[in-house]
Amino acid sequence: MERKQRLRIAIQKSGRLTEDSLDLLQRCGLKYSRGKDQLMCYGENMPLDVLFVRDDDIPDLVQEDVCDLGIVGINVIDEKRLAMSARGTEPGFELVQRMDFGRCRLSIAVPDDFAYKGLPSIAGRRIATTYPNTLARFLRENSLEAEIVTLSGAVEIAPRLGRADLICDLVSTGSTLSANHLREVTTVLESEAALIRTPVPLPDEKADWVRRLLLRIDGVQQVRESKYIMLHAPRSALEEIRKLLPGSESPTVIPLEGPGNKVAIHAVCRENVFWETLESLKAAGASAVLVLPVEKMLA
């Protein structure tokens, strides 16, 4: 197949999204040659090639039609969009779907000794961030005026260096904030990884592969949390057990051989099954409980 006929997806070369992005593509059935340390991987069993780049470059690569698709954080997408609209231009990429990884939030954090009494406390202050446009929108939406100090990194040390009074940065566990004597006070944006695509119409064959890939991504995301659960229980406990099974629609109920009124219950749970759930199931009369991972699912 000619190169122009092959889909190209940009993913982060080395960072927080790399492993999950590659894992997703592999779960979608992609087999590729070459290691991920190189710039590009070629799909062996699908007309899909993977380009490894810095995450900040992904929206531009899709916009410039170098890549048809990209996986990047909503934080990067939003900042890019807002920066473009501030310049009066329209982004040349579309958000297709949010992913179930790369979760984090863009938050405002203040030094431990900052007397924070709600949002008005940040008015007139200097806020360090690498997301000036997203922060500006937040300030606008909350009718606040503050000085935005745009940095290219190491935002968390800005207050200690006297460059800012507070910060607006990405947070996941919050341990970086506490290590820097900062505390999170409000969320500006909830983020996770997302798939973007070029708005340019693709030739039929490519468009068809995009459609297939999206269906597979859907399937992968659905099974990630899903579990297949099997157990035995007295028929009288059926109702209670059904209520305990997280996110399952209609379980299969199979009568068991032998005396007594026991049944086997099989169900797909679309949420993770925790030990607490198993303990509750047991308390409700379940025995021989098995929880199995689901490998593939096609609705």
Q: Where along the sequence are the contacts to ligand PRT (CB under 6 A)?
A: 12, 15-17, 54-56, 73, 75-76, 102, 104, 169-176, 191
Structure tokens at 18: 């790399």
For residue 263, list its beta bridge partners. 233, 255
171 binds, among ligand PRT, Zn ion, none (CB under 5 to 8 A by kind): ligand PRT
Q: Which is nearer to ligand PRT, 15 or 124 (CB)?
A: 15
Q: How far is the CB of 13 from ligand PRT (least distance, A)?
A: 6
For residue 166, list its beta bridge partners. 127
Q: How far is the CB of 172 from ligand PRT (least distance, A)?
A: 4
Q: Under the criterion CB under 5 A, does residue 68 sit at the interface with Zn ion?
A: no
Phi and psi torsions of 69, nearest 5°: -135, 165
Give start and end residues of each alpha helix (H) in 95-180: 132-141, 175-179
Structure tokens at 296: 């593939």
17 binds, among Zn ion, ligand PRT, none (CB under 5 to 8 A by kind): ligand PRT
176 binds, among ligand PRT, Zn ion, none (CB under 5 to 8 A by kind): ligand PRT
For the chain, the distance separating the N- and C-terminal CA atoms, rounded to the nearest angstrom, is 31
- Whole-angstrom distance, CA of residue 25 vs CA of residue 55: 17
Q: How far is the CB of 54 from Zn ion (least distance, A)?
A: 5
Q: How far is the CB of 101 from ligand PRT (least distance, A)?
A: 9
Edge-first strand listing for the sheet containing 147-150? 147-150, 126-129, 166-171, 104-111, 182-191
User: For residue 5, how far is the Cα from the chain centroid?
Assistant: 29
16 binds, among ligand PRT, Zn ion, none (CB under 5 to 8 A by kind): ligand PRT
Q: Which is nearer to ligand PRT, 19 or 64 (CB)?
A: 19
Q: Which is nearer to Zn ion, 75 or 180 (CB)?
A: 75
73 binds, among ligand PRT, Zn ion, none (CB under 5 to 8 A by kind): ligand PRT
- Whole-angstrom distance, CA of residue 175 vs CA of residue 286: 40
Q: Which is nearer to ligand PRT, 171 or 267 (CB)?
A: 171
Question: What element of type H or E holds 252?
Answer: strand 252-255
Q: How far is the CB of 179 from ligand PRT (least distance, A)?
A: 8
Q: How far is the CB of 108 from ligand PRT (least distance, A)?
A: 13
Q: How far is the CB of 1 from Zn ion (least distance, A)?
A: 32
Q: How far is the CB of 79 from ligand PRT (least distance, A)?
A: 9
Residue 67 class from Cβ within 10 Å (0-12 exposed, 13-18 middle, 19+ buried)? buried
74 and 31 Cβ atoms separated by less than 8 Å: no
Query: How many residues bind to Zn ion according to rule CB under 5 A?
Result: 2
Q: Which is nearer to ligand PRT, 31 or 54 (CB)?
A: 54
199 and 93 Cβ atoms separated by less than 8 Å: yes
Footprint (CB under 5 A) of Zn ion, residues 46-65 = 55-56
Q: Which is nearer to Zn ion, 70 or 251 (CB)?
A: 70
- Provide the phi-psi class of 141: left if phi over 0, else alpha when psi is between -120 and 50, else beta: alpha
Q: Which is nearer to ligand PRT, 69 or 170 (CB)?
A: 170
Chain residues in the site for Zn ion (CB under 5 A):
55-56
